[in-house]
Structure 1
C-alpha cells in the first residue's frame, strides 16, 4: 500500500480518531504506525486481539488502567553505567511497574482464560518485583526519598531534627533574654544560607557576638548566628551533607536496579502500549457501531458508512446521520463505473470503499454490518481529487495521468483494487473519454478490481457494452435536487447539469443556447436516464413499504405464536393444579374419615355399648358418600382432560376447511397445499402460517355444556382433633407431609390456631416448615412461640388458620 493511497483516502485521519480513545502516548504511537497487511495470518492476529478487547469489556473482573508515561527518554538516560535518575523519574518507573503488575494479574485471571490473543500478548510481562518493592519502600508520592530507604538515612535525619531543635531552643532563650532587648531588631529566629540566625540592629552589632550571614534590604538589620550556636550549626551542616550523600547513594542504587531491568522495562512498555492501542480500537468500535469483518470471496459491503463523515456528523451535534452504502459486484464483473449528478456522493462512495478496505486489512473494525466481506488485496491504489501542483509544473490532467501511470505499474502485483475518481476529466471530453476507456481496458486485462467515477457518456456506453463491466448510478431526487447517496448497480446515471442550472437560476437564454448545442440523441438519452432514475426511486419506495409490511406481519405472527404458547402452557398448568388440589382434598378427607372410624371403633370396644352399631352404620354411610364423591371427581377430571387428537387423511385436506393446529393451539382455515402435499398454508387470526400437513388435526367442536364440576361436602369433624403436632427428629420432606395432613384435620375441626413443635437444632427443619407455611392459602399467619408464654418457647411455631 503506497503512501499516496493512504493520504488520499485519509487513512491517517482515521487513525487519529482512534488515538483519541487511547490512554497513553506509547499506545497512540502504536495506532499511528498501523498499516494494512497483505497476509491474512497477520491480519487475523490483530483482529483476534481486537476481538478479545471487545469481549473483555464484559468481563466481571475490574480492568486495570493502561495510562502510562513514555519511559523511552528515562531508559535512554539511565543506560550509561553510573547514570543516576532523579526521584521523579524513578517515581514514573514505579507507577509503570504497578500498572504492569495489575495488568499481568488481570490477563492471567481465570475469567480471562478464553481471551487467548490477550493472554498471549500479556504472557511475557515481567513485573520486576524486587525493583518495584525497592521503589515503593524508598520513594514518597512526590519523588523524594523516604526515611525507610535505609537505616543510615533514617538515623541521619533523626540527628538533623535533634540538632535543629537544640539550636532553636538556645536561640529562643537568647531572644527572650532581657539582656538582648536593645540589640535585637525583632524577636524571631530565621534561616540564612542554611544557618539559624537572629535579627540584630546594625548599630548594636557588638552587643551580640556571632557570625553575620546576611544584611536586610534597608541595611539596618544584620542576620547573626550567635557564637554559642556556631559549633552546633557546623554539626548541622555536616549532617545535611551526609544526608545528601546518602540520598544520592540510594538514588544511584535504585538507578542501577533499573539499569539491570532495561530490556524487561522496554518489553513491558511495548506490551502495555499494544494493549492500550487495542483497548482504544475497541472503544472506538463501540462508539461508532463498528464490527470486525469477515475475509474471503469478492468485495461485499452492507450498510457501510464513511467513518470520518460519521464522526464529523456526531461532533456537529445536528442529528445528521450517514446514509449507508450497499455494494455487491455482479459475479461476471470486475469493473464498476459510478455515474450521476454532481454532489451526488460518487466520491464519498469511492472513499468509503477504499478506506474500509484499508481498515479491514489493518485488522481494524469497520463501520458496516457484520455480513460485509472483504478480499485481501495485494495492492489498494487510488487516484482521487484535484492534485495539480504549481511547484511540480503539473496541471490537473497531468497529475491524474502521472498517478494512473504509477497505478498501472503497480496493478500487476497480485490482486489489486483500483479506485479512480472523475476518470477522463481535465481535458477534451472526446479524448478524455477515449483515454478513460483505454485505461479501463488495460486494468481489466491486468485482472484488477476497478471502481471508478465519471461524467462522460462515452465511458457509460463503453461499460454498458462490455460483458465484464457494469454501470452504477448515485440516486438523485429530481424534485428536490438533493442527492440520496444510494448506489443503484446496473444502470448509468444522468448528470442533470441543465436541470440543476435551471433550478439554481441560470438565465433561460443560456439554457436554451446550451440545449441547442445538444443533439436529439443526447437529449433523449438524458431524459431516458432521468425517467429510469424516477422509476427506480418508485420501485425502491414500494420495496421498502413491502419490507416494512412483511416485518410488521412477522412481528405480529411471532407475538401470536408466543401468546398461543403461553395460553397453552397456562391451560395445562391450570388443569394440572385443579386435578392435584381435587385429588388432595379427597385423599385428606379419606385419611380424616379413617382416623375417625379408628377412634370410634376403639371407643366402642372400650365402652361395649349398643351405640357401637349405630356409630358404625353412620360411618359406613359417610365412607360410601365419600367414595361416591371421589368417583364423580375422577369422572369429571377425565371429562375435562384434553381429548386425543384426531388426525386428518389426505382426502380431508381441502382448501377452505377448518382445521386444528396443535402446536399453535388454535383453529385455522386451510388455504392450499404444496411440496407434494407435505406442507400446508393456512390462515390463523389473519396471519398466514406454513406448517407440515402431519401437524393438522380435525377441528375441535365447541362444547355446549360446561365441564362438570365436583363438589365435595365434608362432614363436620369430631371435636377431639389435637391442636399440637411434634415434628422433632423428622426429615423436612416427611415433616411437611405430616404437617399437611395435620393442617387439613385442624381446618376440618375448625381450630383457630395450632402449635407445631420443631425444636431448635440446626434450624433446617424450622426454615423448611416456615417456607411451606408461607405458600399455604389456608394459613392466615404464623409466629415463633414466645419464651415464658407458649410451651416450648421459640422451639415451636404458632400457626393461625
Structure 2
C-alpha cells in the first residue's frame, strides 16, 4: 500500500507511533501500537476512529476508568495451562488484582450500556467469572501471602512451627543467661550464623557449653555456638518448614489446576486489557493534540480545515508559539495541487501534513484539524521525499527519483495519493523540467490525487491550463521579506530568488549579472508572479477589513433594533401608567370638589366659611401639583421599570429553578402566587424575572404541552445510568415536577451502584425538594442501593 516503505518514517508516522507508545500502561499495548498500519476498509477505519473518539469523550467528561492494577495476564495463563505447573503466590496475587480491574472495567461499561457503543465491541460479551477470584481469595490474603488457614494441615504445621520456635528461643535465652552469669559470653548479644541463632562465647570457654560451633570472630576470641539442647529443636523447626513448603506447593498446584479450565477466558481478559490500553493511549494522544474525528469520505478526496502538523503542534505548545493552520481541498475537480513558492516557505510542511494526517486517519487516529474536515480512503500512498541515493544499488539522487517515478506511473490509479517533494530536481533543469512535466501529465491521466511541490516554471504553466491540476502558492510578505506559511489556492508562487538573495546581502553586481543571464521571458513571468502575489495580498487585506466593518455594522444594527424595541416597550408602559395616574387624579379631584360643594352647602353660604373651604381646596390642589412634579423627576424610562412592575397575568421565570409561570395573584406582602401548569406556588417578587413577549409565548406553549399530558401518559420510572450528574438532576427535576402536578405518589429512579457518586448527588437533591417526603433503597434482590424510591407528598 505504501511505497516506498521508508515513506512512513519520512512523513513522521513512526514518531507518532512512539509518542502513542509512551501513553500505554502495558507492554502488550505498546506492541499493538508498534503494529499500527493504515487500513483500506472504510468500515474498519470508521470503527477505530469512533472507538478513539468515544474513549476521548470518556476521559474528558465521564468518571475515571478503573485501571488501578493492570498486569499482563497472558504469561500467567500460559504457565497455568501446563499440566503439573503451579503459579506462585506473587503470580496469583497479580492475577487477582488484574482480574478485579477487568471486572471493574466490564461493570463500568455495563452501567453505561449504549453510551459507548463502539467501545463495547471490544468486550465481545465477556462474562465476569467470579469463581476464579473467589478461588484465589480463599488461599491468599490482601497482601498476596498464603493464608495460614488455607488448609487444615497448613494451619496445624504453622501452629507447630510457631510453638517450636517459641520453645527453642525460650531454651536459648535460658542458656544465654546462664552463660552470662558464669562470665562465659563475649561482647555482643544473640546473633544469627548460617541461618541459626547462636550465643557468642569466649574462645577459652567454648568447651564448657555443649553444642555446635557455627562460626568464629575475625580475631578468634569469640565462638558462636548453637547449644545442643536448642539444636534439636531448631532441626525440628527446619523439618516443619519443609513440611509447610510441601503443603504450600500442594495448595498452589491444586489452585492452579482449578484455574486451568478458565485459561481461554483469561486470555480473552488479557486481550480486553490490551485493546483498552491501546485505545486509551490513542485517546490520550488525541487530547494532547486537541484532535478531532473528521468526516470519513468513501471517495478519494481530502478537505482539511484548520489542520496542523502534529509534531510541529506539540513542539509549538512546548515553546508557547502558534502554528499557522493549513486549509487545502483535493477532489475530483482539483485532483493534484501543485504548490510553489519561496524556499523555507512551508511547501514541504504543507505536503507532509496532508500525507501524515491521511496516514493517521487510515490508521484509526484522530487528527489535529477541524471536525468539519473530511478525508477519503486511499488504497495506495506513494511518496517521493528527500534524497534516496544508494551506493549499494548504484543509484544517484536523480536516479532514485526516476526509479520512484517509474513505479508511480506504472502502478498509480484513481485511488492513489501521490506526494512528491521538489519535483524534477536533481539534474539539469533544461532536461529535468520537461521530464517532470511528462510524468505529471501521465499521473494526471491516471486520475491520481496528490500534492506536489516544485520551483519549475514549466510545471506551473502546465498546471494553469491542464484539467485536474490546480496551482497553489505559499504566501510571502515581500515587504518584510519573510514567509507567512499560508497556502493560497488558485495561482502559482514566485521563488523570490532575487529578493531573498538581496536580503541575505549578495552584492548588487552579482544580482545584476544574474538577471542579465536569465531569459527575458522567464524574468517577465517571475516579475508577474511577484506582482500578482502583492495584488492578491492587498485584496485579501481589503476583504478582511470589509468583513470586519460589515460585522460591526451588523452588531450596531442588532443593538439599534434592540434599543428601539426597549424604547417602544417603555413608551407603552409609561403611557399606561400615566393613564392610570390620571384616572386616580380625576377621581381624587371629583371627590374633593364634591366634598367642597357639600361643605359650602352645609355652611349655608357663610362668607368666612366659604373662604376657608376655598383656601383648603387650593391647598389640596397645590399638594397634587407638587406630587406630580416630583413624579416627573423620578420617572426614568429604563428597562428596570418593566422588570420590577408586575401584574396579574404577566409571565415570569423563577431565578433559582428556571421554572416559568403565570401570575395569578399579588399578595399584600409583595409575594406572587404563580401557576406552573397545574401546580400553584408562592414566591417573592425579588426571585422572579418578567418574560418578554417572545419568551412568554414559548413558555405558554411549553405549559400547554405539559398540561395536555394525562396521568396515563406518565411513567413513574426514570433511568439516569451513565448520565453526567448535572443532566441526571435536570431530568429528575422535570419528572418530579410532572409527578407533583398530576399527584403521582412515588417515583422510581435507577442510578446504578458504581462508586456511589451519582446516588449521593441524587439523594442530596431529593432531601432539598420540598414535595419529597422520604426516599428508600429498592429491595436487595431487585437492585438494592442501585435504585431509589422517592415518595411524593
Using the size of structure 1 for normalisation, the TM-score is 0.68
In the TM superposition, 1:631-650 aligns within 5 A as none
1:326 to partner: Cα distance: 0.8
Q: Distance in 2 between matches of 1:250 and 1:184?
A: 45
For residues 385 and 337 of structure 2, the distance between their equivalents in structure 1, rounded to whole angstroms, comes to 16
Q: Quote the Cα distance in structure 1 between the aligned partners of 2:153 and 2:560.
A: 84
For 1:98 and 1:268, the matched residues in 2 are separated by 11
Residues 179 and 185, structure 2, Cα contact 8 Å, conserved in 1: no
Aligned pair 1:269/2:270, yes or no? Answer: yes
Q: Which deviates further from its counterpart, 527-536 or 378-387?
A: 378-387
Aligned match of 1:22: 24
The aligned counterpart of 2:33 is 31
How far off is 1:334 after superposition? 1.8
Does residue 246 of structure 2 align to residue 245 of structure 1? Answer: yes
Equivalent pair of 2:289/2:367 in contact (CA under 8 Å): no
Q: Report if aligned partners of 1:66, 1:276 keep a CA contact under 8 Å in 2.
A: no
Distance in structure 2 (CA, Å) of the matches to 1:89 and 1:553: 73
Distance 2:576 2:229 in 1: 106
TM-score (norm 2): 0.69
**Which residue of structure 2 lines up, in the alignment, with residue 301 of structure 1?**
304
Corresponding residue number in structure 1 for 2:335 = 334
**Residue 526 of structure 1 aligns with which residue?**
526
What residue number does 1:513 align with? 513
Distance 1:566 1:203 in 2: 115
Deviation at 1:142, TM superposition (A): 5.8
Residues 711-739 of structure 1, C-alpha deviation per residue, up to 9 Å, x if partnerless?
A: xxxxxxxxxxxxxxxxxxxxxxxxxx999
Q: Kindly provide the CA deviation profile for residues 747-800 of structure 1, in whole angstroms up to 9, marking residues without a partner as x.
A: xxxxxxxxxxxxxxxxxxxxx99x9597799xxxxxxxxxxxxxxxxxxxxxxx
Q: Distance in 1 between matches of 2:574 and 2:257?
A: 80
Equivalent residue for 1:486?
486
Q: Partner of 1:121: helix, strand, or coil?
A: coil
Matches within 5 A, 1:601-616: none
Counterpart contact for 1:25–1:69, Cα < 8 Å? no
Alpha-carbon distance, 1:269 to partner: 1.8
Of structures 1 and 2, the one with the larger relative CO (CA 8 A, separation 6+) is 2
Distance change in 2, residues 1:4/1:82 (3 Å): same
Aligned length: 596
Q: Could you tell me how far apart the structure 2 residues matched to 1:555 and 1:239 are?
A: 91
| Structure-2 residue corresponding to 1:757 | none
Gaps in structure 1 of 5+ consecutive residues: 581-664, 666-707, 711-736, 745-767, 778-801
* 8 Å Cα contact 2:340/2:347 also seen in 1: yes
CA displacement at 1:231 relative to structure 2: 2.8
Q: Is the 8 A contact 2:338 2:452 kept in 1?
A: yes
Give a deviation string over 1:357-391, Cα, whole Å, max 9, x none. Answer: 11122222111111111111111211111222233
Aligned to 1:6: 8
Work out whether 1:358 is the aligned partner of 2:359: yes
1:8–1:383 Cα contact (<8 Å) kept: no
SS at 1:185 equivalent: coil
**Is the Cα–Cα contact under 8 Å of residues 443 and 450 in structure 1 kept in the other structure?**
no
The residue aligned with 2:257 is: 256
Matched, 1:147 2:144: no
**2:750 corresponds to:** none
Contact 1:126/1:268, CA 8 A, preserved across alignment: no
Q: Output the CA distance in 2 between the equivalents of 1:174 and 1:579.
A: 117
2:215 aligned counterpart, secondary structure? strand
State the partner residue of 1:199.
200
| 3-state SS in 2 of match to 1:122 | coil
Name the residue aligned to 1:158.
159
Aligned to 2:766: none
Distance 1:576 1:358 in 2: 70
1:491 deviates by: 0.9
Instruction: Give yes or no for the alignment of 1:314 onto 2:317.
Output: yes
CA contact (8 A) 1:52 1:118 kept: yes
Question: After the TM superposition, which residues 513-592 of structure 1 pair with which residues of structure 2 at under 5 Å, given as runs?
Answer: 513-554=513-554
Counterpart residue number, 1:499: 499
Name the CA shift for 1:150/1:578 in 2 (closer, same or farther; >3 Å): farther
Q: Does residue 1:397 correspond to 2:409, yes or no?
A: no
Residue in structure 2 matching 1:57, options 56, 59, 73 = 59
Corresponding position of 1:184: 185
Distance change >3 Å, CA 465–CA 141, structure 1 → 2 = same
Q: Distance in 1 between matches of 2:247 and 2:489?
A: 79
More displaced 10-residue stretch of structure 1: 137-146 or 236-245: 137-146
Structure-2 residue corresponding to 1:371: 372
Q: Which residue of 2 aligns with 1:605?
A: none
CA contact (8 A) 1:303 1:326 kept: yes
Instruction: For residues 543-590 of structure 1, give each alpha carbon's deviation from its aligned partner in whole angstroms, at most 9, with x where no partner exists.
Output: 22233334444555666777788999999999999999xxxxxxxxxx
SS at match of 1:177: helix
2:313 is aligned with 1:325: no
Taking a change above 3 Å as real, the CA distance of residues 450 and 203 of structure 1, as seen in their structure-2 partners, is same
Q: CA RMSD in A?
A: 3.5
Structure 2 portions without partners, runs of 5+: 581-638, 640-644, 648-663, 671-678, 688-793
Answer yes or no: is the 8 Å Cα contact 1:187–1:198 preserved in 2. no
CA distance in 2, matches of 1:369, 1:509: 49
Q: Is the 8 A contact 2:38 2:362 kept in 1?
A: yes
For the structure 1 residues 4 and 773, does the alpha-carbon distance in structure 2 shift closer, same or farther, using more than 3 Å as the test? closer
Instruction: Give the whole-Å Cα distance in 1 for the aligned partners of 2:131 and 2:221.
Output: 58
Task: Tell me the residue number matched to 1:106.
Answer: 108
Shift in CA distance, 188/333, structure 1 to aligned 2, threshold 3 Å: closer
Hey, what's the Cα distance between the residues in 2 that align with 1:313 and 1:472? 25
Which residue of the partner structure matches residue 628 of structure 2? Answer: none
Measured in 2, the distance between the counterparts of 1:337 and 1:234 equals 89
